[in-house]
Amino acid sequence: MNKLLTIAKNTFTETIRQPVYSVILVAALFLFILAPAVTAYSMDDDTKFLREIGLSTLFLTSLFIAIFAASGAVAEEIANKTITTVVTKPVPRPVFILAKFLGIAAAVGLAHYICTIALIMSIRHGVLESVNDLSDMTVISSASVVLFLSLSLTALFNYVYDWRFSSTYSVLLAVFGTIAIIFIVLFDRQWQFNPRENHINLLDVYAAILLFLGILVIVALAVLVSSRFNIVVTLAACIGFFLVGLVSDYAFGRFAADNIFAKIAYYIVPNLQVFWVSDAILEESHVPLKYILITAFYAICYAGGILSLSVAFFQRRQVG
C-alpha cells in the first residue's frame, strides 16, 4: 500500500506540473468566462444552451487532460527508460499500473473540480438576454478575487520558495474557488444572505459528477493504450473510443436484437451516453441519487475491466 500511494502521489504531482495541464485548464476557464456572452445569440432557451456548452467544455477539458497526463505518466517513462528504476525494485507491475491510474485520476479530478466551480459560477451569472438584464456582480467579484489571489500568491511562492508555478496555481484555484462557491451559494445578487435564491441547480452538480465518472473510464483506457503506444496513438484511440461510446445506442443498441456482432459490440463498448444528462437538462427533470450510484458502479466495473487488460498487457512489456 505504501508503494501504491507513493507512486500515485508522484504521478499526481508530475501531472499537475506539466505545462499542458495548465494550458488546457486556463483555456477551459477562459471559455467558461466567455460562455454567458456567446450563448446569448441562440434561437432557443439561452440558459439551457449555456448549460449544454458548459458541460461539453467540462467533459472535453477532462478528456484531453486525461489523455496527455496518461501519455506523460506512462508512455514517456517507458520511452525515457525511467520506468526501470521502479519496476526493477520490488514493485509489482499491477501495483504500478493501478498507482498510475489513481495519480492521473486525482489530477484529472482536480481540474474537473476547478472547472465545475467555473461552470456553476457561469450558470449562476446567467445569460444577459436583454439590455435590462444586470450582471451578477457577486459572481464577477468572487471570480475576480479568486483569479487575482491565486495568481498573486503563486507568483509570491514561486519567487520566495521556488514552488512550481503551474501546480501551485492549480491548487490555489481549487482552494479559493471552494471558498468562493460557498459564498455564492449563501449570498444572492444583492449581496444579501439568501441561500434559497442562489439560482444554483443541483442538477448541474449531478451532471458534473456523472461526467467525471465517465472520464474515469477514459483515464483507464488512456493508461491501457499509453502502456503500449505513444501519445499520438493514445490520443486517436481515446477520441475514437469517446465518439463511439457516445453513439453506442444508435450504432449498436438498435441492432443488438437482430445482429449478434452488434450485440457483442453493444456490451463491450461502454455507453458514455449514460453519463450525459442533457435530456434531463432540456426537460428540467430530476436525476435521482439512485441513478448516480448505479452509474458509478457501471463506471467502476468498466474501468476495472480495462485496468485488468492493462495489467495483462504490461506484464510482458519489455521496459529495459
pLDDT in tens, 250-272: 888 788 778 888 888 888 888 88
Least confident segment among 24-28, 181-185, 233-237, 298-302: 233-237
The position carrying cell 514493485 is: 91
Distance separating alpha carbons of residues 54 and 59, to the nearest angstrom: 9
CA distance 111 to 287: 24
For residues 286 and 18, the model is more confident at 18
Query: What pLDDT is recorded for position 284?
Result: 66
Count of domains forming the chain: 1
pTM, rounded to two decimals: 0.91
Q: How confident is the model at residue 144 (pLDDT cuts 50, 70, 90)?
A: very high
What's the distance, CA 279 to chain centroid?
A: 21
Which is higher by pLDDT, 119 or 92? 119
Give me the mean pLDDT over the 209-219 stretch. Answer: 92
Q: Is 234 helix (H, G, I), strand (E, B) or coil?
A: helix
Is 65 in contact with 109 (CB distance < 8 Å)?
no
Grid cell for residue 288: 435521482
Rg of the chain on CA atoms, in Å: 21
| Residue 8 included in any domain | yes
Residue 320 within a domain: no
Closest CA to 58 of 208, 197, 231, 193: 208
The distance of Cα 151 from the centroid of its chain, to the nearest Å, equals 22
36 in any annotated domain: yes
The rounded percent of the chain whose pLDDT value lies above 70 is 90
Instruction: Report the distance separating Cα 101 and Cα 97, nearest Å.
Output: 6
Is pLDDT larger for residue 112 or for residue 70?
112
What is the structure's pLDDT at 250?
A: 80
Closest by Cα among 107, 5, 111, 18 to 58: 111
Whether the pLDDT of residue 293 is over 80: the answer is yes
The answer to whether 52 touches 278, Cβ cutoff 8 Å, is yes
Instruction: Evaluate whether 65 touches 25 at the Cβ level (below 8 Å).
Output: yes
CA pair distance 158, 164, nearest whole angstrom: 6
Q: From the centroid of its chain, how far is CA 269?
A: 20
Q: Which domain holds residue 240?
A: 2-315
217 in a structural domain: yes
Residue 20 domain flag: yes
What does the pLDDT average to over 163-190?
Answer: 92
- Is the distance from CB of 38 to CB of 53 less than 8 angstroms? yes
Whether the predicted pLDDT of 282 surpasses 90: no
The crossing angle, in degrees rounded to 10, of helices 2-17 and 93-125 is 50
Report yes or no on 134 lying in a domain.
Answer: yes
In a domain, 282, yes or no: yes
- Taking the C-alpha atoms of residue 26 and residue 37, their distance in angstroms, rounded to an integer, is 18
Could you tell me if residue 226 is inside a domain?
yes
